[in-house]
């Protein structure tokens, strides 16, 4: 990679015995956001993940993230689109003070069993800064144009025709009247 590692935040990594011989996580391109995590399962004991099943897959790595950073464990898009394999608690969070083995909770949302072999790239690790906040209890919050609009409220497209009332589109009044006239003339 062309990036200068001397200017990057440092993350200590310990390779556990069951990860011997596996490469450390690496960026796959110069501008990649995530480091690929590999499965540290025994060569002779791959994991077969049945459709609808979930499993915790070891990586054989322990991290020492810098204070003020977190590790985000995210799905790999290729596994998701080709096999329906994704990270169940996506993104999984690795706190800066966690010192255990990084493990990945995978689920098979596909239609066929998926074999996880030793060294299979199973997820991505994105290291990102975090900000802790102080909660201040209040009686109310400032009003906004969005207000209480929740899930999907900002991503809805306007209907092609008519007006929306609730969840049903109603035809515009002139077109509705014209449709009514047309239907009565044919009787």
**Inter-residue contact 27 to 35 (CB < 8 Å):** yes
Nearest-CA neighbor of 2 among 36, 27, 34, 35? 27
Domain encompassing residue 66: 8-129
Per-residue pLDDT at 165 exceeds 50: no
The predicted-structure confidence for 94-120, as pLDDT tens digits, reads as follows 999 999 999 999 999 999 999 999 999
- Asked if the structure places residue 174 within a domain, the reply is no
CATH number at residue 114: 2.70.40.10
- Asked if the structure places residue 162 within a domain, the reply is no
User: What integer pLDDT is reported at residue 148 of this predicted model?
Assistant: 86
- Asked if the structure places residue 169 within a domain, the reply is no
Alpha carbons 68 and 38: distance in angstroms, whole number = 25
**Inter-residue contact 70 to 91 (CB < 8 Å):** no
**CA triple 91-19-114, angle to 5 deg:** 55
Give the distance from CA 77 to its chain's centroid.
9
Run of H or E residues at 72:
strand 69-74
User: What integer pLDDT is reported at residue 164 of this predicted model?
Assistant: 45
The predicted-structure confidence for 63-106, as pLDDT tens digits, reads as follows 999 999 999 999 999 999 999 999 999 999 999 999 999 999 99
User: What integer pLDDT is reported at residue 79 of this predicted model?
Assistant: 96
Run of H or E residues at 79:
helix 77-83
**Inter-residue contact 40 to 59 (CB < 8 Å):** yes
Structure token digits, residue 107: 């689920």
- Asked if the structure places residue 79 within a domain, the reply is yes
- Asked if the structure places residue 184 within a domain, the reply is no
User: Is the torsion defined by CA of 105, 45, 38, 52 positive or negative?
Assistant: negative
- Asked if the structure places residue 167 within a domain, the reply is no
pTM of the predicted structure, to 2 decimals: 0.75
User: What integer pLDDT is reported at residue 2 of this predicted model?
Assistant: 47
| Total number of domains constituting the chain | 1
- Asked if the structure places residue 168 within a domain, the reply is no
Hey, how many other C-beta atoms are within 10 angstroms of the C-beta on 86?
A: 20
User: Can you tell me whether residue 77 is helix, strand or coil?
Assistant: helix
**Inter-residue contact 123 to 37 (CB < 8 Å):** yes
Structure token digits, residue 157: 């497209």
- Asked if the structure places residue 84 within a domain, the reply is yes
């Amino acid at each position: 990679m062309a990036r200068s590692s001397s200017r990057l935040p440092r993350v200590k990594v310990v390779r556990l015995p069951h990860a011997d011989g596996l490469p450390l996580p690496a960026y796959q391109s110069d501008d990649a956001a995530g480091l690929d995590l590999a499965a540290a399962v025994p060569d002779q004991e791959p994991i077969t993940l049945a459709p609808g099943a979930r499993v915790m897959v070891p990586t054989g790595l322990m991290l020492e993230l810098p204070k003020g950073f977190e590790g985000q464990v995210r799905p790999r898009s290729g596994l998701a689109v080709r096999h329906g394999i994704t990270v169940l608690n996506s993104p999984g969070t690795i706190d800066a003070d966690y010192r255990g083995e990084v493990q990945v909770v995978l689920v098979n949302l596909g239609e066929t069993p998926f074999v996880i072999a030793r060294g299979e790239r199973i997820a991505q690790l994105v290291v990102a800064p975090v900000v802790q906040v102080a909660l201040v209890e209040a009686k109310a919050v400032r009003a906004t144009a969005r207000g209480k609009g929740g899930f999907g409220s900002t991503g809805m497209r306007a209907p092609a025709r008519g007006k929306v009332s609730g969840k049903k589109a109603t035809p515009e009044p002139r077109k509705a009247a014209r449709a009514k006239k047309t239907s009565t003339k044919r009787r």
